[in-house]
Structures are given as C-alpha cells and as structure tokens.
Amino acid sequence: MGSGARVASPRLRRSRGAGGKQSAAAYERALELLPGGVNSPVRAMRQIGRDPIFVARGEGAELIDVDGNRYVDWVMSWGPLIAGHARPEVVSAVSAAAAAGTSFGAPTEAEVELAAEVVDRIPSAEMVRMTSSGTEASMSAIRLARAATGRAKIVKFAGAYHGHVDGLLADAGSGLATQGIPASPGVTEAQAADTVIVPWNSPAPDVEAAAVICEPYAANMGLVPPAPGFLRSLREYADATGALLIFDEVITGFRVARGGAQEREQVTPDLTVLGKVIGGGLPAAAYAGRRDLMERIAPAGDVYQAGTLSGNPLATAAGLATLNMLDGPAYERLDQLARALADGLAAAAREAGVPASTTAQPGLLTLFFAPEAPRNYDDAKACDTDAYAAFCRGMLDRGVYLPPSQFEAWFPSLAHTDAHVERTVSAARAVLAEL
C-alpha cells in the first residue's frame, strides 16, 4: 500500500459458493483503496447480497475468476463484447495499433474510417464526434441540443440511464435503481430543474424542451421495449414542439441491428448517442447526427467539446475490428440466441411455478421476477428483487454469471453457443426449483 493511511477493517459479506479465497482477499484489499471496492457501483454485487468475484481472464463467452472458477458470462462487460472475450481479430487489431503508438492527440485515418462505418450503418448519422465514454457522449449531445434550440429543458424517461451526467441522474435506472437512489447528492437544484421526467411508454408533456432523450429499447430498468408506435409518437412530438429527438443507442447501437434500434423501428432521431460496441471493449463512444447540427461542434462551429483520448487508436482499432464481424448472419445469430435463452428461462420458470416473464430483442434480454413483463419503471421496481437476488446467487454457484441486478439486461454475444444456452437453462431449472 502506497499511502500508509489506515482504513477501518471492512466488513465482508458472505461469499457463497462461487468466487473463493482469492476473490475474498482481493475484495478485502480493494475495499481499503476503492470506494465500495469497485470502480463502478453495480460490480459490487450488493443487490444480490454477496461479495464480488474478481476476474482473472475471459475466453469467448466464459469468465475465469482469480480462484480458477469458470462461468458462462451473460454480462460481457455490459455490452461492448458482442464478439466475445479476447476475440482474436480484436486482439490482433489492438496489438498492431499499440505497436504503432498508443495515442497521438492528432488525427488518424482509422478515425475517419470508423466514422464512415458509423455513417454507413446508422440512419440518422451524417457526421460523427468520438468521445471516450457514453456519459461524455450523451452530455455533449445535450449541450449541442441546447445550443441548437436555445432551450434548456430536457425530457427524459424514468428508469432510463444516459450515463452519470448531472442533470440526467434523476430517476435513472441501472446502478441507481440497483441501490435505490432516486438522484444523487451533488447535483444542484438548477441542474435537476431542467430535467422533465416522464414514465416510459407515456406521452411526453407539453413543455418547451431542447430535446427528448430516450433509450429506444430501454435497457437500464431491465429490457423494457417501447409499446408499438411509441417511438414514432416521440418523433411526432419533437417535430410538433421544435425539440430535438435524441436516441441513446449506447446499448442498442450495432447490437439489435446493423443500424441500431432506429433502423429496426424505422424512426430517425436528430442525434444518436453511441458507445459500448463502437469501442469493441476499449473506451470509445460517439455522438452523431444531422450535418447541420453536428457542424455546430467546435472547431467547425461554436459548441465546445474536446477529449485527450477521443478517437484513441487502440479503441478505434478494436471498434473497427468488432464492427467488421457484425453482418447479416451475426444479427440473425444474436436474435436467435436471445430468443432461445429467453424462451428457455420462461419455460423453466413455468415448470417451477415461479411467476416470471421475459423480454428479448436481438442480443438483449431480461428475466423479470414478475408475472407480466414491465411496461415502465414503476412496473420494473415492483419486481421481486429478493427472488432475483436468490436466483442470481444460485446461478453463480452453478457457474453462470448474470447481471447482479434485476434492473439490467443480459448480453448474448457471437461467442455464446447453443451449449451455453442449454447449460444456463438447466442451471436455471435447478435454481428456480429451489426458490
């Protein structure tokens, strides 16, 4: 330990079954050095009442922990690893890029190539600006929307998560939902006052807003798809009120279809926020949209936004290598995997007499401990989170690593096989029977 500071001895939770001595020792040390022992809250596994598992490495669709236990991984780094852990094409692209220099802070041809790929795929994208995280990208898209409209208010949906942007933390899903945090201390009243919260799948209110921002398939309260026609109604609302429509496709972009949810649903936003898959497991994100809007960004225009590592060569190489694998058959496979797993889980729950429901889209699914699939955040919060926690712990003990929260989606990848689905469903049958 470098600092020499004495920290009160942490109280560890039980590490049941999965994990082991090495994970426990790593966590004990981490608790002294990292708030909550982690660098992002949901990793701490608090919602499921156990200690986190420390990862040694990933292979395809599997994780190996520091104690040598192996798990089928349905988290896949929360979405970026659509091609699997340590996919050789990605590893060799990143290695080649690293050998040529890890960062220049000057333009490279690969960034332009990645932007061209984004423009080719995403219907709303005419120009692209890269950032290092989805948080930065959504924050910047909102700044641009405010500059372009001269308005302040942003309409957002309860249970949606757009990164930890101050003004967007109110009623955010994901880790905030997991910890039962309605917003966050440190967000000023002024920042919160400009955010108008609306229930998902309910009409937007009559306000003069700069933008309405949504996850087109809400996936941070568990996966809650839009009701038929809902996204189109948002497009019409934006057109009628002069607001911009922003789709946060950090999760859905390049995952649910080649051109994201906007292609699948045939609704074109003004701006799109991208992340996760675009960096192939390295830190990269972007926002993209209409040329007239994007040309407001500095230095083309007057809206300032910058980043030391934006368009980083390693992340760009990983993103390009990943996107190169995502063709028509890949999307069919992601669809088939998500549906097979969701159907298998639903059948296992029925057999066990456990009230549960599933939602699925290509490369995304959630098992909800509620008899009906939620339509909004209130429904999602009404799920039996204790049952989810017990389920998740039981699955870990049987070698299946799930999102340790009811309010997150599961992420199938191209590395998952039918055997991974079968192993997961048969473990689920056993665990559900014990619940």
Q: Per rule CB under 6 A, is residue 385 in the interface with ligand PLP?
A: no
Which residue, 177 or 297, is less far from ligand PLP as judged by CB?
177
Q: Which of 51, 67, 248, 379 is catalytic?
A: 248
Q: State the SS3 of 125-147.
A: CCEEEEECCHHHHHHHHHHHHHH
- 413: three-class secondary structure by DSSP: coil
Which residue, 58 or 134, is less far from ligand PLP as judged by CB?
134
Q: Per rule CB under 6 A, is residue 361 in the interface with ligand PLP?
A: no
Residue span binding ligand PLP (CB under 6 A) among the ranges 111-119, 129-137, 186-194, 199-207: 129-137
Please report, as residue ranges, which positions from 70 to 99 form the binding site for ligand PLP (by CB under 6 A).
78
Which residue, 19 or 163, is less far from ligand PLP as judged by CB?
163
Residue span binding ligand PLP (CB under 6 A) among the ranges 43-51, 105-113, 134-142, 261-269: 134-142
Residue 161 annotated as catalytic:
yes
Residue number of the CB atom closest to ligand PLP: 134
Helix (H) / strand (E) element for 58: namely: strand 55-59
Residue span binding ligand PLP (CB under 6 A) among the ranges 90-98, 128-136, 200-208, 390-398: 128-136
Could you tell me the two tokens for 426?
């048969």
Q: Per rule CB under 6 A, is residue 52 in the interface with ligand PLP?
A: no
Binding mask 250-279 for ligand PLP (x = CB under 6 A): xx-----------------------x----
Looking at the DSSP bridge assignments, the partners of residue 67 are none
Tokens 């880790």 belong to: 175
Looking at the DSSP bridge assignments, the partners of residue 413 are none
Which residue, 195 or 220, is less far from ligand PLP as judged by CB?
220
- 24: three-class secondary structure by DSSP: helix
Residue span binding ligand PLP (CB under 6 A) among the ranges 29-37, 130-138, 179-187, 371-379: 130-138
Q: Nearest distance from residue 179's CB to ligand PLP, in Å?
A: 15
Please report, as residue ranges, which positions from 193 to 232 form the binding site for ligand PLP (by CB under 6 A).
215, 220
**Residue 398 and residue 99: Cα distance in Å, rounded?**
40
Cβ burial of 428 (10 Å; 0-12, 13-18, 19+) is buried
Is residue 244 a contact partner of residue 270, using CB atoms and an 8 Å limit? yes
Q: Which of 27, 51, 73, 161 is catalytic?
A: 161
Q: Per rule CB under 6 A, is residue 19 in the interface with ligand PLP?
A: no
Which residue, 281 or 394, is less far from ligand PLP as judged by CB?
281
Q: Per rule CB under 6 A, is residue 15 in the interface with ligand PLP?
A: no
**Residue 243 and residue 313: Cα distance in Å, rounded?**
35
Length of the chain in residues, anyone? 435
Is residue 409 a contact partner of residue 366, using CB atoms and an 8 Å limit? yes
Q: Per rule CB under 6 A, is residue 335 in the interface with ligand PLP?
A: no
DSSP assignment of 79-113, as one string? TT-TT-BT-HHHHHHHHHHHHT-S--SS--HHHHH
Residue type, 315: A
Binding mask 135-154 for ligand PLP (x = CB under 6 A): x--x----------------
Q: Per rule CB under 6 A, is residue 312 in the interface with ligand PLP?
A: no
Minimal CA–CA distance to 213: which of 153, 166, 297, 264? 153
DSSP assignment of 310-371, as one string? TT-HHHHHHHHHHHHH-SHHHHHHHHHHHHHHHHHHHHHHHHHT---EEEEETTEEEEESSS
Q: Which of 157, 161, 388, 411 binds ligand PLP (CB under 6 A)?
A: 161
Which residue, 156 or 162, is less far from ligand PLP as judged by CB?
162
Q: Per rule CB under 6 A, is residue 366 in the interface with ligand PLP?
A: no
Residue type, 398: R
Which residue, 177 or 323, is less far from ligand PLP as judged by CB?
177
Helix (H) / strand (E) element for 130: namely: strand 127-131
Residue span binding ligand PLP (CB under 6 A) among the ranges 96-104, 105-113, 127-135, 144-152: 127-135
Rg (CA), the chain: 21
Q: Nearest distance from residue 163's CB to ligand PLP, in Å?
A: 3
The residues annotated as belonging to the active site are 161, 248, 276
The footprint of ligand PLP (CB under 6 A) covers: 78, 133-135, 138, 161-163, 215, 220, 248, 250-251, 275, 285
